[in-house]
Amino acid sequence: MNKAAVIVAGGKGMRMGGSLSKQYLPLAGKPIVMHTLEKFHASEPSVYLMLVLPHADFDYWKGLCDSHNFTLPHQLVAGGASRFQSVKNGLLALPFQEGLVAIHDGVRPFVSEKVIQTSFEKAEEKGSAIPVVALKDSLRKVDTTGESSFQDRAHFRLVQTPQTFQLKPLLQAFSVEELAIFSDDATVYEHQGWEVSLIEGNPENIKLTTPEDLSFAEFLMTTKVVD
């Protein structure tokens, strides 16, 4: 069965506080998104890798690949004005229309190989696979007036990527107009009336957003706690 991974890395990363987009920031000697691409290749060597970047960054990325001797085969696709549009661009550029596709944040380099493999297996069986992790902290809901109420954390999960689907129905899901409720790929899929299937994620699979995240990422790289 055809397998693809659409790695979305179109953000500017303003919360990192620098001028360089976060996907290009160095982690253990090379840009973050290179680690992400390598993780998918290591987990599924035959996976078709698609990297979605701002079109204006294509030459810069090619320069990074040259300077880091990064030769892992992948296709570049220009991102859109939103994550929805960027994912859609990636899906439409795939060389096949049936199979499985994992959509993953480029700045989540610590997804485990087990999660990637399980996501493809579950999506082949159920149509979709969304990795989630349980909450450890207490949870409160705050309304517009500032009043809060206790929420039972047992009923909530944190959602991660890769979010993996059978490609043909996902293409159908992304054929609609973008809506404000589309917070991730699972919500686009659910908009068709289809139920998503959950799998267990790995807690280290954080989205690198702040300088503190990057410091923690360097620690994870040195300890090598993620397979």
Give the pLDDT confidence of 19-67 residue by residue, as tens digits.
Answer: 788 999 999 999 999 999 999 999 999 999 999 999 999 999 999 999 9
Residue 149 lies in a domain: no
Name beta bridge partners: 104: 7
Residue 150 lies in a domain: no
Nearest in space to 27 (alpha carbons), one of 83, 108, 104, 103: 108
The reported pLDDT for the residue numbered 223 is 80
Nearest in space to 172 (alpha carbons), one of 194, 142, 205: 194
Residue 97 lies in a domain: yes
Residue 173 lies in a domain: yes
Q: Cβ distance 4 to 75 under 8 Å?
A: no
Residue 216 lies in a domain: yes
Q: Record the pTM.
A: 0.93
Residue 109 lies in a domain: yes
Residue 122 lies in a domain: yes
Which residues lie closer than 8 Å to 111 by C-beta, 6 or more apart?
36, 39, 104, 131, 160, 161, 162, 201, 202, 205, 226
Q: Number of folded domains in the chain? A: 1
Residue 140 lies in a domain: no
pLDDT above 80 for 84: yes
Domain, as residue range, for 19: 3-130+158-223
The reported pLDDT for the residue numbered 11 is 62
Here the CATH number for the domain that contains residue 15 is: 3.90.550.10
Condensed to tens digits (0 to 9), the pLDDT of residues 171-219 reads 999 999 999 999 999 999 999 999 999 999 999 999 999 989 999 999 9
Q: What percent of the chain has pLDDT over 90?
A: 88
